[in-house]
Amino acid sequence: MSWLHTLGFLAVPVDVSETESVLQAQLPVLEWRLNVVPKLENSTSVQYSGVAKHKELLYLGTSNRSGILMVDQRYSTPVGRLSTEAPVQAKPTVLQEGSNTHLVAVDLSGEVYSWLISPPSENQESSDIVKLEVPDSDRNVDHTLNWSVSLDIPVNTPIETDGQSLFVSTNNDIVYALDLDGNILWRFAHRVSPSRKGNLQLFGAGRPLVEAESIVVGFSDGAVLRLKKSDGTIVEKVYNGEGRYPDVIAQPTSIQGGILISGFEQPSYKESQESILWSKSFGAVQGSLVDPNEGNNTLVYHAGSDGLLRKIDSTSGAVLWDWDSETSASLTEPVWLNGQLLIASHVGGLYIIDPTTGEEVWRSRLEYRQTGYMQPPLVDDCTIHILSAKGFLEQYDTCNTEKEFLGNQKMSIILR
């Protein structure tokens, strides 16, 4: 399978039979779908941004132009755009600092931004303040640019934070730590192993896992490093796989007794104190989800780059069950929805999976021009928000069961 198949760029839809009748209570119902790139001339462009939320506003980047689009979820209406130097492909991050709420983001030029989200002030006027393009009676926040800093390196991964520092992984195998005022605390440049320079590099530094005293991050040559949060010095190092695509782009997952790490195509393994405890011949492009309700934090749900969701006993690496999305393409990181697993495919739709049995409970009705999701859905109370690869922002409701049920038709994706 080529990397184009794995990322989901080659696909053709084929209709198959309807799913079995299921209980519709608390299942997602599509409320609205908004085309956020209506003037996009290049139909092959892919939307990578995830969706962030604060109160009634949704924040996301688009590939066709710079800036962060703001959408009011109540009306499915764009209400403004925060200015950036280049398009934003990484999910923005909403950060609470005491009574202050910040929105931080990074664009493809490597510029990092921080805005203060605050109630509107009638007397405050500044060119740095973005006022929403809705009537004053509906406007409930302003956005003030606090600072921006240039790293001069493209960034595709979201900013991670522990509430005190920001951690940015760049496409050149360089990781930065910044404080909340935009000052660079340290810079770590990974030196690619000479024995691995012949491998094809697809990505740089992956999305870091933030721990109490350190961060864990993977790199293009398969190296996985634990760095001290205070100064970026190396605490531990292991290497992932020996294949053509060793890139560790999936965010590592903290589990009891170690860290679960996945390469772009393979392998996935458990590491503890620079030792590989077990290894499996499948990979992932996003992180895994730990089950907090059983297995004493040793059971994980692994979203494979081969289109399979697996429940794994991390003590041994045993696969307890697997569910096949029938796409052969990467899956997004699963999230919890009413005690079940909500997951998306890079070339498929949205799915709900029973965490105990691995049985499919629901899948969205798909239209080919709107299929495929590159980032996990955002679940907030009764709503689900997700941006499709083709540029359609969607909102699903899981509480109102009186609306028309759209999730009773199944579509399979056959790769060529």
Domain parsing of the chain, residue ranges: 1-48+323-416
Closest CA to 71 of 89, 94, 53, 90: 53
Counting Cα atoms < 13 Å in the Cβ hemisphere of 119 gives 3
Query: Contact at 8 Å (CB) between 387 and 395?
Result: no
Output the pLDDT for position 311: 98
State how far the Cα of 156 lies from the Cα of 147, in Å rounded to an integer.
20
Q: Which residues sit opposite 13 in a β-bridge?
A: 413
Hey, what amino acid is at 188? F
User: How far is it between the farthest Cα atoms of the chain?
Assistant: 62
Output the pLDDT for position 64: 87
Query: Contact at 8 Å (CB) between 264 and 248?
Result: yes
State how far the Cα of 169 lies from the Cα of 338, in Å rounded to an integer.
32
Gap between the terminal Cα atoms of the chain: 10
Output the pLDDT for position 17: 37
Output the pLDDT for position 5: 45
Q: Which residues in the chain come in under a pLDDT of 70? A: 1-25, 41-44, 120-140, 197-200, 243, 368-370, 401-416
Output the pLDDT for position 415: 25
Query: Contact at 8 Å (CB) between 84 and 49?
Result: no
Q: Which residues sit opposite 175 in a β-bridge?
A: 169, 188
- Going 267 to 248 to 298 to 291, the CA torsion angle's sign is negative
Residue 31, sorted as left (phi over 0), alpha (psi -120 to 50) or beta, turns out to be alpha
Output the pLDDT for position 197: 63
Topology given in CATH for the domain delimited by 1-48+323-416:
Lipocalin (2.40.128)
Query: Contact at 8 Å (CB) between 248 and 240?
Result: yes
The phi and psi torsions of 368 (rounded to 5 degrees) equal -55, -40
Output the pLDDT for position 14: 37
Which letter, b or e, does each residue of 25-42 get, where b requires 16 or more Cβ atoms within 10 Å of its Cβ? eebbbbbeebebbeebee
Output the pLDDT for position 186: 98
